[in-house]
Structure 1
Amino acid sequence: MVASLELRTSKDLKRIAAELRAMGDKQLKAEFSKELRSAAKPMVPAVRRAIRQIPSKRGYRADGLRGAMSRAVKLEVRMAGRDAGVRIRVDGRKMPDKARAVQSYMEGLKKPWRHPVYGNREVWVSQPAHPYFFRTVRPLGLASRVQVNKAMDRVARKIS
């Protein structure tokens, strides 16, 4: 027996979301949104755990940058417009003012940043990247995507 898996695209999700809006069935829309959220929910604690495990000479501190990054991890389910979809992100708006892009630097999406050692402006160091996000989310992504596809199939059947 050969197993097959059809991975649906974000266009399918946008189309289903548009159909649900046109139908005006708020209960079905809420049910679909809840299923999407539950499919991606296991990724949030996994990303937070990966952030807490980023190496540091001082160890993990809840009031430090890694603690702020961990608190900034959020799950978004949007059912409207171009941005219809499910996202896990580290929201820079929830980071301290001067550290809004730290998550991108840590992941290695931006060049390593330089900073003074414990505020001493005479001594600067370059902070290397410690990828945490994609390394954590990729293995969980397929199982989550399968759940999302099943939810999309169920709702598509109810619509038609």
Structure 2
Amino acid sequence: MLRLRTTGEDLRQVSARLRRIDNPEIKKRFRKELRAVATPFVPLVRSSIRSIPSTRPYTADGLRGRMSKATRVEVRTVGRDAGVAIRVDGRKMPSNMKALPKGMEGTKRWRHPVFGNREFWVTQQPHPYFFRVVRPAGVAGRRAAARVVSSITRDVS
């Protein structure tokens, strides 16, 4: 599971205040605005996944297509892990491919059987696709999330 998070004590405090008040409209707006901050990152990550070099053409059923489909935004406004995350979720991959998003992003080579044949294994180089795309835009995303938190804080106070 790969994530980029915007978290902080301010977000936790706003979340706690929202739980205490009984205004579903503000809670809904808070989640919607946080999701809107992170949503522009998803097409960037998906495009980066599709551009991973391969000897085969891109297909929706291939590794790159499945990784692209597993990319999503997650907004949590409760608990210790309150925040916004862009995830390439291995849990959304087929059972034999759950570790592949992390392996492709990794810094070291990884091995896998050729088409599931456990007698023939190949070593594959990682092809970083996530952080090289998200990091440059991360500063703007954190600023936007801070604006959302401050806006909701003003409304709640």
Q: How does 1:47-126 map to 2 (within 5 A)?
A: 47-108=45-106, 111-119=108-116, 121-126=118-123
Counterpart amino acid of residue 112 in structure 1: R
Write out the 4+ residue segments of structure 1 that deviate beyond 2 Å after TM superposition. Answer: 115-124
Q: Structure 1 residue 75: deviation in Å?
A: 0.3
Partner of 1:4: none
Pair 1:149–1:79, CA change in 2 (3 A): same
Q: Structure 1 residue 120: deviation in Å?
A: 5.3
SS in structure 2 of the partner of residue 145 of structure 1: helix
- The percentage of counterpart residues that share the same residue type is 55
Quick one: distance in 1 between partners of 2:135 and 2:11?
20
Partner of 2:154: 157
Partner of 1:128: 125
Counterpart amino acid of residue 48 in structure 2: A
Structure 1 residue ranges without an equivalent (≥5): 1-7
Structure 2 residue ranges without an equivalent (≥5): 1-5
Worse overlay, 128-137 or 140-149:
140-149
Q: Structure 1 residue 17: deviation in Å?
A: 0.5
Q: Structure 1 residue 112: deviation in Å?
A: 2.3
Q: How does 1:30-45 map to 2 (within 5 A)?
A: 30-45=28-43
RMSD: 1.7
Counterpart amino acid of residue 90 in structure 2: G
User: When the two structures are superposed, what TM-score results if normalisation uses the length of structure 2?
Assistant: 0.90
Counterpart amino acid of residue 79 in structure 2: G
Counterpart amino acid of residue 42 in structure 1: P
Within the alignment, does 1:12 sit opposite 2:4 as a pair? no
Report which structure shows greater RCO (CA 8 Å, sep ≥6).
2
Within the alignment, does 1:146 sit opposite 2:143 as a pair? yes
SS in structure 2 of the partner of residue 87 of structure 1: strand
Quick one: distance in 2 between partners of 1:20 and 1:122?
56
Counterpart amino acid of residue 129 in structure 1: P
SS in structure 2 of the partner of residue 106 of structure 1: helix
